[in-house]
Amino acid sequence: MLKLLRKLAVEHCPTCNEIIQSQHSSICYTRACPHGHYTEETYSHLGVRIVYKK
Ligand SMILES: [Zn+2]
């Protein structure tokens, strides 16, 4: 279980294998590749998750 959580905490971009960076704001939680290949936005109050892949 601990191993699984650690794997989820450090994800890599499927395109360039760069470490996915996460950011919190008042409305959403964003995880994104620093090169813009992958963006995931989670709106926890809406229960919505949006994923953009390039
Ligand atoms: Zn990337």
For tokens 């949006």, name the residue. 50
* Residue 28 exposure: Cα atoms within 13 Å on the Cβ side: 14
**Residue with more model confidence, 10 or 27:** 27
Tell me how far the alpha carbon of residue 20 lies from the centroid of ligand 1, in angstroms: 8
In the chain, where are the structural domains located? 2-53
Contact 39, 46 (CB under 8 A): no
The rounded mean pLDDT for the chain is 86
Task: Report residue 10's pLDDT band, with 50, 70 and 90 as the boundaries.
Answer: low
Question: If pLDDT is split at 50, 70 and 90, which confidence band does 14 have?
Answer: confident
The encoded tokens of residue 16 equal 């360039």
Q: What is the CA(9)–ligand 1 centre distance, in A?
A: 17
| pTM, entire model | 0.70
Which tens digits make up the pLDDT trace of 25-49?
999 999 999 999 999 999 988 999 9
pLDDT for residue 5 is more than 90: no
